[in-house]
Structure 1
């Protein structure tokens, strides 16, 4: 699908002309957005703007070192954006940005929330987006705001997970079965979102750094100032994402440590129980042997004395362990 936007946010869907029809005019169109384009739509835009439109396979196969380049006067830039951040399985999607003349062309095969937010707010931008450089810097500004929102939500979720993992002493003693294992899975999902966001920020930082060297942007004061502001925001978000990532790693290690501690405590209980019951078992085994010459067997008090001996032999190791601090 091809959607073209004017500087004031007016949008219209561009239909492929038939053989007899003349190609549509792009007068007043600043942004051409290609969402999951077909091969025919890609060929149409290539003929209309005299550029090479990267296919879905090109976006997947493109190497990080080849994501930013200029060819035949057109500036090609590719960034990875977080998609489905509000779901349990967030993903990264590659989006291509092409600056050609006064037009911005975007090619994408997903719908990151930032694009919808930008489209809804375009008509409120003072002065509108009168050129491709202004359009891309405004769009990047919205993408950065959306990324900041994702990180803010991640920080809040991380704090909630931290309280769930550690809690207070009363909660710790009454945890349901597999409680920590479930929290561990939640922390792993949280860490995945933060890692994807860090990866996205890295690609955006490289894109903005390259964009600032583009002559068309350097000649436009508004775009230049916006790009500088976006660059500062991306740097701050990158540092904040690293901080959240460090906290998440600590939370992941702490969850594994608590699980190991609980397992060790259970094994410790069984070990102590086996040691405590060992002396009574030894006494019971001795007097369970069938020998003819065992004087205690004929004693009137042999049975109660053996019971008392077994109890005493179990109590003494218990208090000894308490005295040593092993219990």
Structure 2
């Protein structure tokens, strides 16, 4: 899919079958979403550059993601995708400044792009060129990353409350074992966020040193502000990662404590039944008068008592959550 955005915020869909051979002057942003080879070639013919494919975006080394070629600025950053799901991912997005236009190539739909597109028509004066659009798009991406961190922090606070609340209101240690999966999901999300922030930080450092940004003091100031925000978010993400590590260690420690308490109960039960077992093993059935020997139902009754002595403790331990 090829979406071309004009300076007034309106969008036009482009197709290789269209007869358009050159772009109108008011088109400032071309957004390639999961493009086909034909769409890649079509945009290449309109802009006169090589559009990176999915495999090229994936295989680009971190040191080769940022470069200038024939006056066009090529940048690739990793953005968090599907942050609300249990399987957050990183998706590589190419940002290209060519002929004062912005070209983005993406094979996923991060929420930050939807937020930015929805706000395009609110401030048409900011859509005059691709450089301005790129700066504001990066600002939206930073805001969206901050929102993801806030949601992760709220989830971690909820986990912390569940883990450290009164023990009488939960069923250890299975309750804590279930929380380990939630902690792992938070750790995975924060790891993706930190990788994305590192990628964005490198991209912004490169972008602020290009002529396209240094020639405009306003955009240079905006990019510097976004770079500081990303640096702050990176530090905060590190703090959140440390809290997650603490929760993980605390959960494992509490699981060990609860398991030790259960073993202690079993040990006490063994000690309680040890003296009767000792007496029975010494004397056995060495008595002259045992009324049970004459019982007709004595043997079946003994079998029932043995079965009950095994079944009742089992279900009691299951009810207490020890098994």
Q: TM-score band (shorter)?
A: 0.7 to 0.9
Gaps of 5+ in 2: 290-323
Q: Which whole-Å deviations, capped at 9, do the CAs of 1:177-201 have from their partners, x for residues lacking one?
A: 7221221111111111111111110
Name the residue aligned to 1:306.
none
Deviation at 1:222, TM superposition (A): 1.8
| TM, length-normalised to structure 1 | 0.84
Instruction: Specify whether residues 95 and 229 from structure 1 end up closer, same or farther in structure 2 by C-alpha distance, changes over 3 A only.
Output: same
Structure 1 SS opposite 2:245: helix
> How far apart, CA to CA, are the structure 2 residues paired with 1:125 and 1:263?
60
Return 78-87 or 256-265, whichever deviates more: 256-265
Equivalences for 1:67-86 in 2 at 5 Å? 67-86=65-84
**What residue in structure 2 maps to residue 257 of structure 1?**
253
Q: Kindly report the root-mean-square deviation, in angstroms, between the aligned alpha carbons of the 2 structures.
A: 1.8
The whole-number CA distance in structure 1 between the counterparts of 2:26 and 2:99 is: 13
Pair 38,89 (structure 1): closer, same or farther in 2 beyond 3 Å: same
Question: Partner residue of 1:230?
Answer: 226
Cα deviation code 1:110-146 (max 9, x no counterpart): 0000000000101122622212211110000000000
Q: Distance in 2 between matches of 1:59 and 1:252?
A: 35
Q: Which residue of 1 aligns with 2:2?
A: 2
Q: The residue matched to 1:128 in structure 2 has which SS?
A: helix
Measure, in 2, the Cα distance between the counterparts of 1:260 and 1:182: 14
In structure 1, how many angstroms separate the alpha carbons of the residues matched to 2:65 and 2:140? 21
Q: Find the structure with the greater CA-based Rg.
A: 1
Name the CA distance, whole Å, in 1 between partners of 2:124 and 2:9: 11
Q: Name the counterpart of 2:148.
A: 150
Q: Distance in 2 between matches of 1:236 and 1:80?
A: 18
Residue 195 of structure 1: aligned partner? 191
Match of 1:44 in 2: 42
Counterparts of 1:237-248 in structure 2 under 5 Å?
237-248=233-244
Where does structure 1 lack aligned partners over 5 or more consecutive residues? 291-296, 300-327
The answer (yes or no) to whether the contact 1:2–1:41 under 8 Å persists in 2 is yes
When residues 92 and 22 of structure 1 are mapped into structure 2, their CA distance, relative to the original with a 3 A threshold, is: closer
Distance in 1, matches of 2:229 and 2:108, equals 24
State how far apart, in whole Å, the 2-side matches of 1:74 and 1:34 are. Answer: 17
How many pairs were matched up? 290
| 8 Å contact from structure 1 (residues 3, 12) kept in 2 | yes
Match of 2:12 in 1: 12
1:97-119, Cα deviation, whole Å (9 max, x unpaired): 01112111000000000000000
Alpha-carbon distance change, 126 to 8 in structure 1, aligned in 2, over 3 angstroms: closer
